[in-house]
Amino acid sequence: MTTGTLYVVSTPIGNLRDITLRAIETLKATPYVIAEDTRVTQKLFHHYDITSKLVSYHKFNEKEREAEIIGYLTGGANVSLVSDAGTPLVSDPGYTVVKAAIKAGIRVEAIPGPSSLLSAVILSGFDPARFLFYGFLDKSGKSKRDALVEISAIKYPVIIFESPNRAKDTLAMIAEVMPQRPAAVVKELTKIYETVLRGTPSDISALITDDMEKGEFIIVIGPALEDEKPKEAVIEQRLKELAGEGMALSEAVKTAAQELNAGRNEVYKISLKLKEGGVKWN
């Protein structure tokens, strides 16, 4: 028996009209549609008169659903995979079933369409020729700060997703690590109240009102500036990493100064302070 095809279908990120004809045709033609939240997808189905069977698939039931979905496919049925909005798998469930389908020799086909991260980098005003999608930062303070220190040295835009209850705290931490770095926040993409805020992290945070603190935030951090001097915390973090790699103090100072576009004397002073604080150098 011929196996079915798993279609990964992009759906609107806000405006229901932002869907391709091919996506509608595919959703109507597949007997099963695997959805992150069937209640959300049902609104799309109602709008376009789609009657395919919806099957719930999210991070809490991925494993138990995987065998069922692969069973549909190996039985010859075509299956579509959608997320609540945009392109599946990108910070959304779906990767494990796609991986399982590929392993089972099942054809996987992407039906392209809306993507919030592409819209965000275009609206940010930064050069989109090259950018990094980071996804969600860790929730804890130290790991989040470490990630932002790493991001601060990247010379092209970096896109992160953030929940509304943590957005202002994240912007405050970005301001601590890279206070003068230009950034942009994009919200409510393709909807009536689509909003784009641009400026330094502190500037943007001040513009966020209580009524805006709902829905997903997309934060685009601008590229590292040529003449931007890293804050002491950034230099400290990199020196600690180099010390952990077993690098000698003099070599670590040289490396950190070059990577972070910082004065060697400034980096050396910080390295001595770290040494006094117990950091071991070879």
Q: Do 232-276 and 117-221 have the same topology in CATH?
A: no
Half-sphere exposure of 155 (CA within 13 A, CB side): 5
What confidence score (pLDDT) does residue 93 get?
86
Give the CATH class of 5-114.
alpha beta
For the record, the structure tokens of 162 come out as: 């953030």
| Mean pLDDT split into 10-residue runs, the chain, 282 residues | 93 95 98 95 97 91 88 96 93 91 97 94 96 90 84 92 92 89 95 94 92 87 80 82 88 85 85 85 77
**pLDDT tens string 263-272:** 888 888 898 8
Mean pLDDT over each residue of the chain, to the nearest integer: 91
Give the CATH class of 232-276.
mainly alpha
CA dist 246 and 202 (Å) reads 37
| DSSP string over 61-129 | THHHHHHHHHHHHHTT--EEEE-SSBSTTSSSS-HHHHHHHHHTT-EEEEE----HHHHHHHHH-S-TT
Give me the amino acid identity at 231: K
Pick among 3.30.950.10, 3.40.50.1010, 3.30.70.20, 3.20.20.100: CATH of 117-221: 3.30.950.10
The domain limits of the chain are 5-114, 117-221, 232-276
How far are the Cα atoms of 87, 94, 131 from residue 112, in angstroms, in the given order? 7, 15, 20
What confidence score (pLDDT) does residue 1 get?
66
CA dist 218 and 134 (Å) reads 11
